[in-house]
């Protein structure tokens, strides 16, 4: 029989279950054939290495999953944000730590900083949230949030009903999932967002907007 | 050792359990519409990726490699989760896991738990176990909410209320929501958007108040200690973010070695499951983070029969399953029988091979499950981790046949199940079409030869149809 190391001290389970499971696993696979690590001969990306193509594909895929997408340069961003908030009748907006203040330069909506921090109930009573992102993936139409600068705690981009998310193009856009993972820090809390929340639980009929933000507006912030 | 708990323990054998379902024309129509819609969409989503077969093969290799060295990867996972501020618990069986979770919940002083849909917690009957300890569990996935409010059982891995139509859902919401929290508004219609809004309002107050959440996970990364939950509605994000304590119950086979391995499954799972390039929300967390999300994180690693499956050289491939439900959606038998017929939380082709292995084949339902198939191979074709379900079914039939002589109770259950399948011309015709296309995949021995023939020599799986073969060879 294999001798197993003692249970690690911060593990609170009964050591017997731990040792029992590990011993059963060792016995179960003792005679099994070797199973080598994967060959990974799949593609790194499905599109050409071209930032303009990636931007277009991201735009298309986001729209396909019912996000509203805008393209703008820095000079027009404050006006655009103000218009988007107004279009949805949003009078209050949660502002993550580190969000560039000038983005809110044109809106009349009440900015609610998270220094407090905002409670879940306060967030529920806040109409919108504006955030940046860590990364966007063109092939899947996905935005990745890592709770970094300008994104805030996960609750901020979850509880309000409207999420306005700014993606810097081309710097924050990658073509594919395999190209995205090396740029993401797994030790941070991560949220991958592909369109607004949705359900198909009723007769597989897709309905947008259940528990997360019901509206997702993505701003592709172009250099120049 | 007690029998492995998989929910719905005392259940009639396959055809009887299917009986109620197939006589319900509404259910049949719902199910047919739903499975055909989703399977067509899946085919489109998969066709978008030129390297699908290579991704599928990589998924298979990653899972096989992990299973081969599961002891090592679980220890690595435990260290990584612990280093990131989480606490790891090991549960040998359902009772173990339920006791651990109940104790953790009670230690918080809370009497309410919000829950993200999870097969593992259904498998161990966690909700019932917590209820017995005086803890109320609120399912927050829309379909699970429908099942819970309707005092019903799930019938599909991904869409547990697939057997309910909109009118039934409206009636359940009207009748039951008020008993558990915020009632549905007067005049609630059967428009899916209206129903989703009712669920949003009903659950929002629970999310804002919740202090403890229970989840499963789709993957656990050994090298980083990261857990991943795929979802669509945002209820998962709510449960994983707002409460102070998070308890995740996860089968040991959900481990993958590296962060990089996710690049395969992040591409294959959404397309296989909801036929999307990516599902709306995927959450990943590693232990706890100061000032963001739960302050306490507990991971309960669940065996509950998995190590016994692992010991079977043919059957262990079932542990590669990533619970995408693609095999259910293409199965001609599932389409006609419905999910409840399978007598466990795991319905369809994957259930037919997983349940008898986890639970053993001592009961009639479990002995009959390997026969609930036309062996057409469509499930294998769509499986993103290439589980050869027909191969495992045949292997399990040998096990059933070996259990007793001709005419014993299990054999009868098995033959009744097979007879049910074979007397459904639609299922067979659909199956045969697929079978012809996949014949090369099939083993040479006839299905369950021992059970059928008491040892008579049989022709190889015939070039002629399976139905003819069966007619000729049944007693
Ligand atoms: S057996 Fe394969 S197709 Fe079926 S649910 Fe599991 S992974 Fe998906």
Distance in angstroms (rounded) separating the CA atoms of residues A55 and A50: 9
- CA distances, B430 to each of A125, B81, B418, B451 (Å): 53, 47, 16, 25
Q: Any idea which of B95-109, B394-408, B411-425, B438-452 has the lowest mean pLDDT? A: B438-452
| For residue A196, pLDDT beyond 90 | no
Q: Judge whether residue B312 has pLDDT over 50.
A: yes
The sign of the CA dihedral B126, B127, B132, B136 is: positive
Q: What distance in Å separates residue B343's CA from the closest CA in chain A?
A: 22
pLDDT at B407 over 50: yes
| pLDDT tens, position by position, B88-129 | 999 999 999 999 999 999 999 999 999 998 999 999 999 999
Answer yes or no: is pLDDT of B175 > 90. yes
- What does the pLDDT read at residue B456? 29
B48 DSSP assignment: T
B141-159: pLDDT as tens digits:
988 899 899 888 888 888 8
| Residues contacting residue B35 through CB under 8 Å, at least 6 positions apart | B328, B329, B330, B331, B334, B335
Which residue's alpha carbon is at the smallest distance from atom 8 of ligand 1? B324
- Two tokens, residue B251: 């089968």
How confident is the prediction for chain B on average, in pLDDT?
Answer: 85
Burial degree of A3 (CB within 10 A; 0-12, 13-18, 19+): exposed
pLDDT at B9: 42
What are the Cα distances from residue B32, in Å, to B151, B159, B331, B335, B466?
23, 13, 10, 6, 23
The two tokens of residue B192 are 């899916």
Residue B457 banded pLDDT, cuts 50, 70, 90: very low
Q: Which residue of A has its CA nearest to B45?
A: A140
Whether the per-residue pLDDT at A10 is higher than 70: the answer is no
Question: How do residues A92-106 score in pLDDT, each as one tens digit?
Answer: 999 999 999 999 999
Which residues of chain B from 62 to 121 reach within 8 Å of chain A, CB to CB?
62, 64-65, 67-71, 74-75, 78-79, 82, 84, 87-92, 96, 100
Could you identify the residue written with the tokens 């990306």? A45
Complex prediction ipTM: 0.93
- Asked if pLDDT for residue B28 goes beyond 50, the answer is yes
Mean confidence (pLDDT) of chain A = 92
Confidence of residue A1 (pLDDT cuts 50, 70, 90): very low
How far apart are the CA of B421 and the centre of ligand 1, in A?
21
Q: pLDDT tens digits, residue range A65-89?
A: 989 999 999 999 999 999 999 999 9
Among A residues 105-144, those touching chain B with beta carbons less than 8 Å apart: 117, 120-121, 124, 137, 139-142
Contact yes or no for B234/A210 (Cβ under 8 A) = yes
* pLDDT at position B470 over 50: no
Domain architecture of chain B: domains with CATH? 2-307 (3.40.50.10420), 406-444+461-474 (no CATH)
Calculate mean pLDDT across residues B38-64. Answer: 96
Whole-number Å distance, alpha carbon B391 to ligand 1 midpoint, is: 14
Question: B443-452: per-residue pLDDT in tens?
Answer: 444 343 333 3
Ligand 1: centre distance to CA A81 (Å): 43
Q: Terminal CA-to-CA distance of chain B, rounded, Å? A: 37
Instruction: Tell me the residues of chain A between 158 and 217 that have a Cβ less than 8 Å away from chain B.
Output: 158-159, 177-178, 181-182, 186-205, 207, 209-213
Nearest to B45 by CA among B283, B371, B299, B271: B271
Return the residue whose CA atom lies nearest to atom 4 of ligand 1: B327
Neighbours of B326 (CB within 10 A): 30
Residues A197-211: tens digit of each pLDDT: 888 788 777 888 888
A 10 A CB-CB count for A40 gives 17
Is B146 touching A (CB cutoff 8 A)?
A: yes
Supply the pTM of this predicted model: 0.90
Interchain CB distance below 8 Å, B203 and A187: no
Per-residue pLDDT band for A64 (boundaries 50, 70, 90) equals very high
User: pLDDT (tens digit, 9 = 90+) per residue, A28-38?
Assistant: 999 999 999 89
Tens digits of residue pLDDT in B201-214: 999 999 999 999 99
Q: Which atom of ligand 1 is nearest to the CA of B350?
A: 1
Q: What are the tens digits of pLDDT across the range B287-297?
A: 999 999 999 99
Q: How would residue B433 be classed by pLDDT, with cut points 50, 70 and 90?
A: low
Query: Of all residues in chain A, what percent carry a pLDDT higher than 70?
Result: 93
Question: Minimal Cα–Cα distance from B104 to chain A, Å?
Answer: 11
pLDDT in tens, A122-176: 999 999 999 999 999 999 999 999 999 999 999 999 999 999 999 999 999 999 9
Name the closest residue on chain B to residue A209, using Cα atoms: B233
Contact A42 B165 (CB under 8 A): no
* Distance (Å) from CA B322 to ligand 1 centroid: 6
Nearest to A11 among B87, B237, B261 (CB): B87
Q: What is the pLDDT of residue B398?
A: 87
Q: Do A38 and B58 touch (CB under 8 A)?
A: yes
- Give the mean pLDDT of B35-60: 95
Residue ranges of domains in chain A, CATH in brackets: 51-199 (3.40.50.10420)
């Amino acid at each position: 029989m294999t001798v197993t190391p003692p249970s690690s001290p911060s593990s609170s389970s009964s050591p017997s279950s731990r040792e029992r499971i590990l011993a059963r696993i060792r016995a179960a696979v003792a005679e099994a054939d070797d199973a080598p690590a994967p060959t990974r001969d799949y593609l790194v990306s499905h599109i050409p290495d071209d930032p303009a193509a990636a931007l277009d594909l991201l735009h298309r895929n986001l729209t396909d999953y019912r996000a509203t997408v805008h393209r703008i340069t820095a000079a027009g961003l404050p006006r655009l944000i103000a218009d988007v908030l107004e279009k949805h009748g949003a009078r209050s907006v949660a502002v993550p730590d580190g969000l560039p203040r000038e983005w809110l330069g044109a809106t009349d909506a009440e900015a609610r900083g998270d220094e407090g921090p905002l409670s879940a109930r306060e967030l529920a009573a806040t109409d919108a949230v504006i955030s940046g992102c860590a990364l966007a993936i063109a092939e899947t139409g996905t935005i990745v949030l890592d709770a970094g600068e300008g994104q805030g705690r996960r609750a901020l981009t979850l509880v309000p009903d409207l999420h306005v998310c700014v993606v810097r193009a081309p710097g924050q856009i990658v073509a594919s999932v395999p190209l995205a993972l090396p740029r993401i820090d797994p030790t941070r809390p991560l949220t991958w967002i592909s369109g607004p929340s949705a359900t198909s639980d009723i007769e597989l009929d897709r309905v947008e907007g259940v528990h997360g933000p019901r509206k997702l507006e993505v701003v592709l912030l172009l250099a120049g | 050792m007690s029998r492995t708990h998989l929910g719905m323990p005392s259940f009639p054998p396959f055809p009887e359990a299917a009986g109620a379902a197939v006589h319900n024309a509404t259910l049949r129509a719902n199910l047919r519409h739903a499975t055909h819609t989703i399977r067509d969409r899946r085919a489109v989503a998969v066709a978008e990726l030129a390297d699908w077969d290579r991704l599928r093969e990589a998924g298979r290799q990653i899972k096989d490699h992990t299973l081969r060295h599961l002891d090592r990867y679980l220890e690595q996972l435990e260290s990584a989760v612990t280093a990131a501020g989480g606490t790891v618990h090991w549960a040998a069986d359902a009772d173990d896991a339920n006791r651990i979770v109940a104790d953790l919940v009670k230690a918080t002083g809370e009497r309410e738990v919000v829950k993200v849909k999870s097969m593992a917690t259904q498998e161990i009957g966690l909700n019932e176990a917590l209820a017995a300890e005086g803890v109320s569990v609120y399912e927050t996935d829309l379909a699970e909410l429908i099942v819970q409010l309707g005092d019903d059982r799930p019938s599909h891995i991904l869409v547990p209320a697939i057997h309910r139509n909109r009118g039934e859902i409206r009636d359940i919401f009207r009748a039951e929501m008020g008993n558990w929290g915020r009632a549905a508004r007067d005049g609630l219609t059967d428009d899916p958007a209206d129903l989703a809004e009712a669920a949003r309002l009903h659950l929002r107050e629970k999310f804002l108040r919740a202090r403890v959440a229970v989840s499963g996970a789709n993957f656990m990364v050994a090298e980083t200690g990261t857990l991943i939950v795929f979802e669509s509605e945002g209820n998962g994000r709510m449960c994983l973010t707002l409460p102070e304590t998070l308890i995740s119950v996860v089968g040991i086979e959900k481990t993958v070695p590296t962060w990089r391995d996710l690049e395969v499954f992040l591409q294959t799972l959404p397309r296989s499951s909801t036929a999307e390039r990516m599902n709306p929300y995927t959450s990943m967390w590693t232990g706890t983070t100061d000032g963001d999300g739960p302050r306490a994180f507990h991971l309960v690693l669940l065996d509950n029969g998995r190590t016994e499956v692992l010991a079977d050289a043919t059957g262990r491939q079932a542990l590669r399953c990533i619970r995408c439900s693609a095999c259910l959606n293409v199965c001609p038998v599932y389409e006609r029988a419905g999910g409840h017929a399978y007598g466990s939380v795991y319905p369809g082709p994957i259930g037919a091979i997983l349940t008898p292995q986890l639970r053993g084949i001592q009961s009639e339902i479990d002995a009959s499950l390997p026969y609930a198939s036309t062996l057409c191979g469509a499930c294998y074709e769509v499986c993103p981790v290439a589980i050869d379900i027909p191969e495992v079914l045949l292997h399990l039939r040998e096990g059933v046949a070996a259990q007793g002589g001709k005419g014993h109770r299990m054999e009868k259950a098995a033959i009744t199940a097979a007879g049910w399948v074979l007397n459904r011309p639609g299922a067979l015709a659909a199956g045969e079409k697929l079978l012809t296309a996949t014949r090369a995949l099939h083993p040479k021995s006839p299905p369950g030869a021992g059970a059928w023939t008491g040892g008579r020599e049989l022709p190889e799986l015939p070039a002629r149809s399976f139905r003819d073969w069966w007619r000729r060879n049944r007693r």
